[in-house]
Chain A
Amino acid sequence: MAPKESKKKGQYERQSPARESFRRFLRHRSAQVGLGILLVLVLIAIFAPLLAPYNPTQILKNEKRRDVPCIHLLGCPADKNEHIMGVDGNSRDLFSRVLYGSRLSLQIGLITISFAILIGGLIGAFAGYVGGWVDNLLMRLMDVLMAFPSLLLAIAIVTVLGTGLINALLAIGIVSIPRFARLVRASVLSTKELDYVAASRALGASPIRLLFQRILPNSITPLIVQGTLGIATAILDAAALSFLGLGAEPPRPEWGLMLGEEKNSVFNAPHLVFFPGIAIMLTVLSFNLVGDGLRDALDPRLRGKPVA
């Protein structure tokens, strides 16, 4: 188990599966693009207060509402204040708002999906391991949840709980649960019959230990892939809810809300919907590309084959 030594001796190179997957992931063309965008987004989110020229909720009293972008480098007169993406309908700097929006969107994606994976994973693992009527009951429950179009169900939940960002997050989290529950259950069902699990059981391992130490690690791989793709959907759903006025409350710099607020001025001031829209698109795209790359990289059947 000392690959460095074996390398020196000129013997065959041995790689751990994790390392090989990682190498494959890095070589994956679209994953590279996705990872690049994502990295930039994360950096923007972390350093938003340093990058943003203005406070995102501050009303700039001297600026004209819905003013067009003004960039000094591109010939905007120097006596005007620079607003790279223009000024929004409440005289706030759009660029600062879009930058701060990345914080919200990334948080929304990570929080909702963590919530969904945690709850969904436990439900799925329990149902799969115990089986019988428990399995039946839980899975029919998940089927019911899945029978609704996810956005409609989220809207229904928000309507009951009341509008607000936290409630919207909860709604999106709940809506995403069934996907993960089914995924984990499926992998638990197939794993629990394997010989090594039987061996472990024969050695006297407790059910909890069996489930968490022997069985669940096997479903990590699909969870990672599904989770990454799920973040993209969650961000999109959150933006849709905010667009409809059911998610983030004004004046929070949430991209979907920014779109919704300015949807009527799309002909007069297109930049106000263009930039938040592009931001949503890029974020969702990056998560989708990364998710795709992960799926290809983690697929054992593709192991050792050239990267697409």
Chain B
Amino acid sequence: MNKKILSSGLIALVVFSLALAACAPAAAPAAEPTKAPEAAAAFAPMKVEAPNCDYGGEFKSIEAVDENTVKFTLCYSDPGFPSKVAFSAFGIQDKDYMDANAGDSVAMSEKPNGTGPYRLVEWKKGDSIIFEANPDYWGEKAKVKNLVFRWSDQSAQRYLELNSGTVDGIDNPAPEDIVKLKEDKNFTVYDRSPMNIFYIGFNNKIAPFDNEKVRQAFAQAIDRKRIVEQYYPEGSTVAENFVPDLFNPGFSKDIKWYSYDKDAAKKLLEDAGFDFNQEIKLSFRNVVRGYLPSPDKVAQELQGQLAEIGVKVKLNEMESATFIDATAAGQEGFYLLGWSADYPDSTNFYDYHFANENNKQFGALFPDIAEPIKAAGKISDTAERQKLYDKVNELLKTHVPMIPVAHGGSATVFKAKVEGAHASPLTNEIFAVMNNGADQLVWMQNGEPASLWCSDETDGETLRGCEAMYDSLLAYKVGGVEVEPSLAEKYTSNADATEYVFNLRKGVKFTNGAALDANDVVSSFAAQWDAKSPNHKGRTGTFEYFGSFFGSFLNAPEKSAE
């Protein structure tokens, strides 16, 4: 009898406390941002400036010239600058809203305030995100009234949902499902043009690869087409240049890599006095990357292909970090490595690899390759740059510091009736241009966004959500990498690409009603650039993309503090 009372009392207590716990978080009141009355007041232009360029970053100053003009002064010339500022991590936020939230990405995700085609209705954490079309959008309004983001890390589940019709589009179908989907008339598969390169690297200081003829022979001994066909998903292409064909300037469409010819390769090796008895070490890490989906298989394939011309290869699987350090320090003679684009400009590929004294992965720099690369990084004329890159690609083929093998692809799948569906090489699909003829478009991706304000995000799953709600100064063409006007109607740069002036679009409104002005741009960039800015908070505080695009932060804390 006593026990019964005790236990029922206990159960009641548990239920009560559960109910309390469930109700508690909902009670937190969200602070309503005050509508900014700034338009009426006189415009006080902002300017953030570095005292000098010794701090190691790209920006010298960011300045609001007038209400609708922003000027960036750079420490060195950068023809890739427009590509960089178009990136989704550099979306523009209302200055007052940012100040009110002290730059906290998590707080700003509660009530996202952007200028984009969609705005947030509700983020059901762990389940879905619902957006609605922004009626005040400055450009062409979104075609479908509601947009829903869902996610699952299981490719089988994404496929299942698409098949049963509960979602309109999915990301990254599994390679084995793609075949079925391509045959099915109800769906359309959109290959995502690859933005990466998988290459086989040589170090020209380590024997036998100090001999250019040996490197040229290896370049002809490897059947790259077979590797791509056998070990890469749909949408991948055989690499002819170091950069994918989307890169213009950068990709030389008339320059093709050596064709596969093992007899010629063997003869070339014999001419070069290659010792066929030696065992060559091929180093790699067994880490799956977009540019190399099955490293151990490809390594064995190469071993087999080289065995056909009598070259003995020993596979050397290394731990990931050790491998990266060893290649960068120039300790590996023959290795598998790749590169994924951070921003769609050729400088991101060529400069880091072939014109960078600190990078010893290919041994000593080839001065005749490094020189045109450096020259191309200092001019903004497209045709002139292309000429220099043509020269680079020709010389890469002669010197063979690496063998370009593949650009690894992926895909999206949409119901066939979805108009305007596409896959973006930068993984920022734009849903505003899609129309499925209903008032709701459901998209299923791999993971849940980490936040809904992306200045401090790196994950593509997160950035895609921000693309729908925010705009950057410039934008990438839908499904492409070319830069288009966005919040800035036009921009001009000086001859040596160290000064950029952006003219902002007029009449753009944020979700909270504030009008866009030049100070919003300055403050959005300054929040990332200036480590002492009160808004330099983000989500983790690392601002990784800013660092990799523009170098050091202004007022960065001393390194020794780590």
Contacts and interface: CB of A to CB of B under 8 A. Distances in A.
Interface of A: 57-59, 61, 65, 89-91, 163, 245, 249-251, 261, 268
A245 B317 contact: yes
A250 B226 CA distance: 20
A65 B175 CA distance: 13
Interface in B278-301: 286, 294, 296-297, 299-301
B176 A268 contact: yes
A91 B317 contact: no
B304 A57 contact: yes
Interface residues of B, number: 19
A250 B297 CA distance: 9
A163 B315 CA distance: 11
Most buried by A among B297, B300, B305: B300
B230 interface: yes
Contacts, number: 36
Contacts of A61: 223, 226
Interface string B309-324: 0000011010000000
B303 interface: yes
Contacts of A59: 300-301, 304-305
A245 B287 CA distance: 13
Closest 6 CB pairs of A and B: A59-B304, A90-B300, A251-B300, A250-B300, A89-B297, A65-B230
18 contacts: A57-B307, A59-B300, A59-B305, A61-B223, A65-B231, A89-B294, A90-B301, A90-B304, A245-B317, A250-B296, A250-B299, A250-B300, A250-B303, A250-B315, A251-B300, A251-B304, A251-B315, A268-B176
A93 to B, nearest CB: 13
A100 to B, nearest CB: 15
Contacts of A90: 297, 300-301, 304
Nearest to A58: B304
Nearest to B156: A267
A89 B296 CA distance: 10
Contacts of B314: 249
Nearest to B308: A59
A249 B313 CA distance: 12
A60 to B, nearest CB: 10
A89 B298 CA distance: 10
B284 to A, nearest CB: 11
B102 to A, nearest CB: 45
Interface centre among A57, A163, A250 (most CB of B within 10 A): A250
Contacts of A251: 300, 303-304, 315
A261 B304 contact: no
B315 A261 contact: no
Nearest to B174: A268
B153 to A, nearest CB: 15
A58 B304 CA distance: 7
Which of A91, A251, A268 has the most CB atoms of chain B within a 10 A radius of its CB?
Answer: A251
B315 A249 contact: yes
A53 B388 CA distance: 53
Nearest to B316: A249
Interface in B107-130: none
Contacts of B286: 245
Given A57-B304, A249-B315, A261 B230 contact: no
Given A57-B304, A57-B307, A59-B304, 10 more contacts: A59-B300, A89-B294, A89-B297, A90-B304, A249-B315, A249-B317, A250-B303, A251-B300, A251-B303, A251-B315
A249 B297 CA distance: 13
A299 B372 CA distance: 84
A107 B96 CA distance: 75
A71 B431 CA distance: 50
Contacts of B223: 61
Given A245-B317, A249-B315, A261 B296 contact: yes
Contacts of A268: 176
B233 to A, nearest CB: 13
Contacts of B226: 61
Nearest to B303: A251
Interface in B385-426: none
A275 B23 CA distance: 56
A268 B307 CA distance: 29
Contacts of A245: 286, 317
Nearest to A60: B304
Nearest to B230: A65
Contacts of B305: 59
Nearest to B317: A245
A171 B307 CA distance: 30
The interface centre, meaning the residue of A90, A91, A245, A261 with most chain B CB atoms within 10 A of its CB, is A90
A75 to B, nearest CB: 24
Contacts of B294: 89
A251 B231 CA distance: 16
B260 to A, nearest CB: 11
A249 B315 CA distance: 7
Nearest to B307: A57
A250 B305 CA distance: 14
A59 B298 CA distance: 12
A153 B296 CA distance: 26
A57 B313 CA distance: 13
A251 B304 CA distance: 9
